[in-house]
Structure 1
Amino acid sequence: MVMKRMLGLLLVAASMGAAWPAGADVKAGVDAWGRGDYKAAVEQWRGPAVAGDPDAQFNLAQAYKLGRGVPLDPALAESWFRKAAQQGHEQAQDNYGLALFQSGKKGDAVPWLEKSVGRGEPRAQLVLGTMLFNGDGVTRDYPRAYALMTRASQAGLNAASETLLQMDQYITPADRERGTRLAQQYAAQARTLAPRPTLAATPAATPPAPRQPAIRTTPLPASSPVAPKPTPVAAKPTPAAPKPTPVVAKPAATPAKSGAWRIQLGAFRDRANAEAQWGKVRARLTGAQPFYVPAGGVTRLQAGGYATRAAATQACARSGVPCVVVNG
């Protein structure tokens, strides 16, 4: 049976005009990639990719996406991502949805982005959250946009954290509260799923910039380096440990009111909205002082002062709402 399967693969590849080195497989390509020999890696992957191996297809797509071992070619990258994604390769699905969005095929991107969001992929949460906020290719949904952006921020995407602060300038306290509750539901659902492997990321792109009355997404963070899913013939390098979800700590002792560190809990067009937000979180920030900082037509709600950055970070986790640590 094994020999028949191998012969079948060889015949399929031959019928498509493919030829590759004897013994070529995905793992050998990964090893070559790890040594920086990108051309050899591509040579190992091309034959199996043509024969239908989804790991090889995904890796070949990454090579074209990054321009390593082959000329940079986003269209070919998208094509190979599609082939692997249609076979159920989750990393390929993640990258295919993002590639479709970047090439302007937003309607086609949405079903793939939804698949990725369902698995908790932060880049997909950032993109779909922005689309939902702007009503860009989808029906506008402020609460869900806020929830997805919150989850992406909690996963460590700086662009999502900055976009959350921009969203605070436009949405109502009621939509923000609904979005926060929905984000908590997503977090509870994520804890019931197996953790997703997290690979070392290449440098992130510029965060999205605001526009009235919506938020514009600029180029996304670059995808992770090539590494195949585990298969009988292609073991992938050990992934980095997944980023831990922030744990809500118990209330700490009253902080020193003279400390220089604060946490920023949002930016609001109306000071009344900032004061309403403080009323919701003050019980979780015992001893902190509110600061209403005017900035370019908005009021930034900050709480402090904390003696150290670590104390401010703990307070941020206790607040129960998206926030960032700042030095007052």
Structure 2
Amino acid sequence: MRSFRTASFMLSAAAAAALAAPALADVKAGVDAWQKGDYQSAVAEWRPLALAGDPDAQFNLGQAYKLGRGVPADLAQAESWYRRAAKQGHLQAEDNLGLVLFTAGRRQEAMPYIEASAARGEPRAQYVLGTAHFNGDLAAENWPLAYALTKRASDAGLQIASARLAQLDGLIPLEQRQRGLAMLPEMEKSEQRARLAATAAATPAAPKPASSAIKPVPVAPSAPLSPAAQAAADAASEATAAAKVASADAAKPATPGTSYPAPPASGPLPAKSAPVQTPVPTAAAPAKVATNAPASPWRAQLGAFGVEANARNLWKRLAAKYPSVASREPLLVKSAKLTRLQAGGFAGKAQAVDFCATMQKGGQPCLVVDK
């Protein structure tokens, strides 16, 4: 297999995630201040809540220290706050903790977090883990799996993963790339199960209702069951208890800071292109925050293509099938050798989310992005 290798990729973490904004009024006040550029006020709102144990405030404080906004940039402080929030089940904090550890060179320590995040479908973690599987460094060499993970990250809109995918097209034999693509349907299902399990694990158990006094009722003594009958009764009891637990877990509402949006379904493979030596960023880019400006920044991304004509053809097919697509103007966003097909003109994020939901019901991958 190694005769195909012409390059070995260096691993790196990517940009920070968006700020958490739950229902807590003071945490939201901090987010509002942050969006206005008043970072010191945002930190002042979050710090007492973070010290009191609020996981969203802890995550946001970690973001502030990571980006150096409102406080001096301090990755040690960022790691500390991410770790506190992660221990309480804050999934975004767990994602960022792994990436911060990896960026700091503590790669072995970071990998369990990276692997858990990638299993839930986090694109940056999938990109890092995919590169590890290609190089056989920090993870077993597995080129089909490396290709599948990089493809998932690319489909989620991670630009550096799209560039890496184009490189892998020229480095991994076709048969192994096809095996990687065959993994995608089960990988998507596995990601969904992992997200649901992680969210359920982070959701506090509902308080038990107060028990009321029950009068004892005399019952006539029963004859003991035979061993076979007792085993059957025990099995039935265990099955009933398991069903009740599963039903209760499914009904639990997600708590602030532990919800996890599903990544898009796998889209078409970008056209094959020559390997491109793309520099891997080592510094995290500033987190994007939504504003209340009249012009909405929200768009819906429908795919990324190595050939612009393929993007235009997809728009024609979707416009013929969906009136909601035909009523919008296609946006072709150039990025390196890729053309990203996006729909714009949404009044806000909620409208873009509804648009993508319609697309995904029809089997078309769609990702809400902030330009």
TM-score interval w.r.t. the shorter chain? 0.5 to 0.7
Q: Could you tell me how far 1:31 is from its partner in structure 2?
A: 2.2
Q: Which moved more, 1:64-73 or 1:161-170?
A: 161-170
Amino acid across the alignment from 2:285: A
Report the secondary structure of 2:72's partner residue: coil
Report the secondary structure of 1:168's partner residue: helix
| CA deviation string 1:135-160 (max 9, x = no partner) | 22222221111101001111111211
Q: Could you tell me how far 1:189 is from its partner in structure 2?
A: 4.4
Aligned 1:55-74 pairs, distance under 5 A = 55-74=56-75
CA 1:325 to 1:72, structure 2 compared with 1: closer, same or farther past 3 Å? closer
Distance 2:311 2:116 in 1: 37
Q: Could you tell me how far 1:87 is from its partner in structure 2?
A: 1.1
Distance 2:315 2:191 in 1: 23
Distance 1:131 1:242 in 2: 32
Report the secondary structure of 1:25's partner residue: helix
TM-score by length of 1: 0.57
Q: Could you tell me how far 1:42 is from its partner in structure 2?
A: 0.7
Report the secondary structure of 2:171's partner residue: coil
Distance 2:65 2:159 in 1: 27
Amino acid across the alignment from 2:56: D
Q: Would you say the 8 A contact 1:30–1:41 is kept in 2?
A: yes
The structure with the largest alpha-carbon Rg is 2
Amino acid across the alignment from 2:172: I
The structure 2 residue matched to 1:222, chosen from 258, 280, 285, is 285
CA 1:210 to 1:130, structure 2 compared with 1: closer, same or farther past 3 Å? farther
Q: Could you tell me how far 1:80 is from its partner in structure 2?
A: 0.9
Distance 1:242 1:131 in 2: 32
Distance 2:98 2:46 in 1: 22
Q: Could you tell me how far 1:178 is from its partner in structure 2?
A: 1.1
Indicate the residue corresponding to 2:126 in structure 1.
125
Aligned 1:124-273 pairs, distance under 5 A = 124-190=125-191, 196=261, 217-219=280-282, 222=285, 224-225=287-288, 264=306
Q: How many percent identity over aligned positions?
A: 47
Report the secondary structure of 2:170's partner residue: coil
Q: Could you tell me how far 1:325 is from its partner in structure 2?
A: 5.5
Amino acid across the alignment from 2:65: Y
- Are 1:53 and 2:116 matched, yes or no? no
CA 1:91 to 1:309, structure 2 compared with 1: closer, same or farther past 3 Å? closer
Indicate the residue corresponding to 1:112 in structure 2.
113
Q: Would you say the 8 A contact 2:34–2:42 is kept in 1?
A: yes
Distance 1:121 1:196 in 2: 10
CA 1:223 to 1:116, structure 2 compared with 1: closer, same or farther past 3 Å? farther
Indicate the residue corresponding to 1:93 in structure 2.
94
Distance 1:244 1:85 in 2: 30
Amino acid across the alignment from 2:312: A
Distance 1:245 1:109 in 2: 32
Q: Would you say the 8 A contact 2:119–2:190 is kept in 1?
A: no
Amino acid across the alignment from 1:311: N
- Are 1:75 and 2:76 matched, yes or no? yes
CA 1:188 to 1:242, structure 2 compared with 1: closer, same or farther past 3 Å? farther
Count of paired positions: 217
Indicate the residue corresponding to 1:310 in structure 2.
312
CA 1:246 to 1:188, structure 2 compared with 1: closer, same or farther past 3 Å? farther
Distance 1:190 1:325 in 2: 27
TM-score by length of 2: 0.50
Q: Could you tell me how far 1:310 is from its partner in structure 2?
A: 0.3
Q: Could you tell me how far 1:226 is from its partner in structure 2?
A: 7.2
Indicate the residue corresponding to 1:236 in structure 2.
none
Q: Would you say the 8 A contact 1:132–1:138 is kept in 2?
A: yes
Q: Could you tell me how far 1:119 is from its partner in structure 2?
A: 1.9
Q: Would you say the 8 A contact 1:126–1:148 is kept in 2?
A: yes
Q: Could you tell me how far 1:163 is from its partner in structure 2?
A: 0.4
Q: Would you say the 8 A contact 1:24–1:44 is kept in 2?
A: no
Q: Which runs of 5+ in 2 are unaligned?
A: 1-23, 197-259, 264-274, 291-296, 318-336, 341-371
Distance 1:31 1:129 in 2: 36
Q: Could you tell me how far 1:78 is from its partner in structure 2?
A: 1.2
Q: Would you say the 8 A contact 1:57–1:84 is kept in 2?
A: yes
Distance 1:60 1:226 in 2: 15
Amino acid across the alignment from 1:155: A
CA 1:221 to 1:145, structure 2 compared with 1: closer, same or farther past 3 Å? farther
Query: RCO (CA 8 Å, sep 6+): is it higher in 1 or 2?
Result: 2
Q: Would you say the 8 A contact 2:166–2:276 is kept in 1?
A: no
Distance 2:338 2:102 in 1: 28
CA 1:242 to 1:83, structure 2 compared with 1: closer, same or farther past 3 Å? farther
| CA deviation string 1:188-207 (max 9, x = no partner) | 44567677079xxxxxxxxx
Q: Could you tell me how far 1:25 is from its partner in structure 2?
A: 3.1
CA 1:226 to 1:62, structure 2 compared with 1: closer, same or farther past 3 Å? farther
Distance 1:197 1:69 in 2: 31
Distance 2:157 2:113 in 1: 22
Q: Would you say the 8 A contact 1:130–1:217 is kept in 2?
A: no
